Amino acid sequence: MGLFSFVKDAGKKIFGDDKPAAEAPAAGAAPSGGPTLADVRAQALRNQISQTGIAVENLSVRCEGSSAHVAGRVKSQEDKEKLILACGNVLGIGEVDEALEVDSPEPEATFYTVQRGDTLSKIAKEHYGAASKYPAIFQANRPMLEDPDKIYPGQVLRIPPLS
């Protein structure tokens, strides 16, 4: 289990409202007795996870303010880390509290928060000693990254150990 911090004012906009989670109204029951804001946001995160293609058994997602709580079982450490990033790199999410079980434990990747002026080549040089190893970082963050030139400040990336 772990608690991971993210930049809540950076990330993909998946929530229907324009307010980051912490600025939204309290998550009490909706006047019509329908789903709460927290329920709607949790469903949006479940949809985000589904889009990654990562298989998760017994997936549970809850939102409380700017926190996301995620539990379930995944096949690999890579899947676990990608699932954490899929939830955390969302506008309005400042932390992800995970309780994910892994079938095949592997060495953990380092998480890196992109700074202004960073490129995948620059990050690869810093972490691997060679800018030419940026494809390893790009591949480690697929499908969240679709283009190696499209990263943004505040985004959190996986930096896996080189094999």
Residues 75 and 116 in one domain: no
58, 86, 104: which is the final residue of a domain? 104
Residues 116 and 84 in one domain: no
**pLDDT over threshold 80, residue 16:** no
How high is the pLDDT of residue 2?
87
Q: How confident is the model at residue 17 (pLDDT cuts 50, 70, 90)?
A: low
Residues 77 and 138 in one domain: no
104, 119, 143: which is the final residue of a domain? 104
Determine the average pLDDT of the residues in 118-139: 97
CATH of the domain at 154: 3.10.350.10
Give the range of the structural domain holding residue 32, as residue numbers without chain letter. 2-104
Residues 68 and 118 in one domain: no
b (16+ CB within 10 A) / e for 113-144: ebeeebebbebbeebbeeeebbebbbebbeeb
Q: Which helix (H) or strand (E) holds 102?
A: strand 95-104
Determine the average pLDDT of the residues in 22-39: 64
Residues 120 and 90 in one domain: no
Percent helix / strand / coil, the chain, rounded to 5: 30, 25, 45
Which pLDDT tens digit goes with each residue over 38-96? 999 999 999 999 999 999 999 999 999 999 999 999 999 999 999 999 999 999 999 99
Residues 79 and 9 in one domain: yes
**pLDDT over threshold 50, residue 104:** yes
As a whole number, the mean pLDDT across the chain is 90
Residues 17 and 39 in one domain: yes
Residues 8 and 82 in one domain: yes
63, 79, 104: which is the final residue of a domain? 104
What pTM value is reported for the model?
Answer: 0.85
How high is the pLDDT of residue 25?
47
* CA dihedral of 104, 110, 9, 44, whole degrees rounded to 10: -10
Rounded CA gap, 54 and 150, in Å? 22
Report how many domains make up the chain: 2
